[in-house]
Amino acid sequence: MKIAVLDDFLGVVPTLDAWRMLDGHSVTVFRDPLTDVDELGSRLGEFEALVLSRERTKITASLLDRLPNLRIVSQTGVIPHIDVPACTQRGVLVCTSRTGPSYTTAELTWGLILASMRHIPQEAVALRAGRWQTRFGRGLRGQTLGVFGFGWIGSLVASYGRAFDMRVLVWGRAGSLGRAREAGYEVATDQRSFFATSDIVTLHLRMLPETDGIVTAADLAAMKSDALFVNTSRAALVEPGALLAALRAGRPGHAALDVYDAEPVIGAHDPLVSMDNVVCSPHVGYVTRDRFETMFGSAFEQVLAFDRGAPVNVVNRELLVG
């Protein structure tokens, strides 16, 4: 098969052990992201299979019309960027799987929390410039950690909070609240009080139509002036423009981010990355070799299973009927 692997920003996919799974196939890796439909169509028109990295490239009906040879789109994780009905109409199989909890994202969440609470990036810059101890930090013990979403990652983050001897408060949909209660965690009475009570709020929600903009400007305004807002999930979980406005208004006082409205953020074009009260990383929550091996290994296996005539993890299963 002719296979395209998209948006390998780091250029590391061919170095993975999983890469050997594609021996015998014609595989092209693209590092630079494209958003223009005509350019994408020109680039990808010859390929039978696309392997995607997260939600970096949108698969729309307009793009599909430019891909006459496409037979399968494969990736892991959620697929809000793929027009599944359009794929089905054109006979293109969509395959995705969940590959277990992302320990790496949970770990990065805590890296950002510690970096922000203790001002580690700022102090490192000051030390390099010849200065010594420029600001107070804040400890974690006894602080209230608000975990919004108690799925795989949220439950991990909550358990790490316990290890830091923090009060852990959970909010989310009914499923999250039920799982949190069963695990012995305190559950907030409502969303507004959750934001108002927490010293740190961290988001761990899937990006779905019902979670788009679920964090509102009013929620952020309810936070304490010294509180920290953390997002390692998806930027669109927050009402557009609300976080920037809230930080400028001083509630919350700080943020730590791994996700942005428009990625990649090149040339620091997002104003959030230039704010002194925001600690930023370039969407690296899942960017570790072990996580990439798991993700791309699963995505490659889906392509190979399709090539063998026994597709797995199919989203639009109606194409398999008959």
Name the residue with tokens 């009906």.
61
What is the rounded CA–CA span in Å between residue 27 and residue 8? Answer: 13
Give, in order, the Cα–Cα distances in Å from 153 to each of 65, 102, 107, 149, 163: 37, 6, 9, 8, 16
Q: Report the alpha-carbon distance of residue 195 to residue 201 in Å, rounded.
A: 7
β-pairing, 144-148 vs 200-203, is parallel
Measure CA 198 to chain center: 22
Helix ranges (DSSP H) in the chain = 37-44, 61-64, 84-89, 103-117, 120-128, 152-163, 174-182, 191-197, 217-221, 242-249, 289-307
Q: Which residue in the list 71, 234, 251, 254 is annotated as catalytic?
A: 234
Residues 61-96: b if buried by 16+ CB within 10 A, e if exposed: eebbebbeebbbbbbbbebbebbbebbbebebbbbb
263 catalytic, yes or no?
yes
Q: Are 270 and 261 in contact (CB under 8 A)?
A: yes
Residue 45 gets which letter from DSSP? T
Nearest Cα neighbor of 170 from 162, 181, 31 is: 181
Choosing from 46, 107, 123, 263, the catalytic residue is: 263
Say whether 107 is catalytic.
no
Is the N-terminal amide bond of 209 cis, ω within 30° of 0?
no
Which tokens in the block code for residue 175? Answer: 């499923």
Q: Which of 43, 56, 254, 283 is catalytic?
A: 283
Question: Which residue numbers are catalytic?
Answer: 234, 263, 283
